[in-house]
Amino acid sequence: FFKDKPLSSIAAFDLERFKKSRKEEGVTNGTINRELAALSHLFSKAVEWKWIDHRPAKINRLKEDGGRMVYLTAAQAAELLNKAAEHQSSFIYPFIRIALETSMRRSEILSIRLEHIDLHRRIIFIPQAKAGAREQPVTKNLAEYLAEILKTAELGQEWLFPSALSECGHIRWPEHAFREVVKAAGLDPKQVVPHTLRHTAITHLVQAGVDLPTVQRISGHKTLQMVARYSHQNGEHIQAAMDVLEKRYKSAA
């Protein structure tokens, strides 16, 4: 965002523009705050190393919503996939399907290399994940779907989502197509953003009764504490757990 702007020239107004830009991209306040924390660290190190005399601007963090995370029901996820399949973009359906069936982050999905897809072991290797390199397990259905995609890949194709117009070789993000699909599915594009798909996959794993360490292994979170947030989601699995508790007491009475 700041490109070649020197640290000493970054003003409070620049920071507000950065926050506004990121929010318009659908990024959460928490993610923006992590990015601001990185910039704050740069300020501190620059002062420590005497590159600048003082911190050029005060960094005000955004308020983070500690409430309920947005996720899709199974029916909503199915409808989103249906509308994605009807969309003219060839990238949007596979992107949404991979996100819902793996919990992978947007950047991880768009940068998948064909050589990193192991259909036999049913994993996708992610060399630069947020918490370090990892092997991402995939569902059987997704592995079969990816097998069909690989059959149609062009000779010498490197990326799953190639783009001749992108400097990195793969598409950046088809934001317009994603918003159109979300609207077509009867959902709010202000609420349903790419990261919502990750929340959805993880939430349904938890609701299905998968233990948190296994969920952490699948989602690639750094700590178990970060995964524990999803266990607070209210749903049928919570009531089912309480019913189990009730039955145990009744059986002993």
Distance (Å, whole) CA 67 – CA 214: 24
Instruction: Give yes or no for residue 129 having a pLDDT over 80.
Output: no
pLDDT at position 69 is 67
**Percentage above 90 pLDDT, the chain:** 57
Whether the pLDDT of residue 249 is over 70: the answer is yes
**HEC readout, the chain:** CCCCCCHHHCCHHHHHHHHHHHHHCCCCHHHHHHHHHHHHHHHHHHHHCCCCCCCCCCCCCCCCCCCCCCCCCHHHHHHHHHHHHHCCCCCHHHHHHHHHHHCCCHHHHHCCEHHHEECCCCEEEECCCCCCCEEEECCHHHHHHHHHHHHCCCCCCCECCECCCCCCCECCCCHHHHHHHHHHCCCCCCCCCHHHHHHHHHHHHHHCCCCHHHHHHHHCCCCHHHHHHHHHCCCHHHHHHHHHHHHHHHHHC
Res 68 pLDDT > 70: no
At 116 the pLDDT is: 96
Beta bridge partners of residue 126, listed in sequence order: 134
Per-residue confidence (pLDDT) for residue 235, from 0 to 100: 57
45: pLDDT strictly greater than 60? yes
Q: Output the pLDDT for position 24.
A: 84
Q: What is the pLDDT of residues 131-168, one digit of tens each?
A: 788 899 999 999 999 999 999 999 999 999 999 888 88
Q: How many CB atoms lie within 10 A of CB 179?
A: 15
Q: 103, 101, 97, 104: which is closest to 83 by C-alpha?
A: 97
Average pLDDT on 187-204 reads 91
Q: What is the pLDDT of residue 237?
A: 61
CATH class of the region 74-232? mainly alpha
- At 238 the pLDDT is 62
Confidence of residue 183 (pLDDT cuts 50, 70, 90): very high
For the chain, state the CA radius of gyration.
21
Please tell me which residue, 63 or 83, carries the higher pLDDT value: 83
Cα separation, 253 vs 239, whole angstroms: 21
Averaged pLDDT score across all residues of the chain: 88
| Predicted structure pTM score | 0.69
Closest to 227 measured CA to CA, from 206, 204, 241 = 206
Tens digits of per-residue pLDDT, 200-240?
999 899 888 888 889 888 988 888 888 877 766 555 566 66
Q: Does residue 253 have a pLDDT over 80?
A: no
Q: Which sequence spans correspond to the domains of the chain?
A: 1-66, 74-232
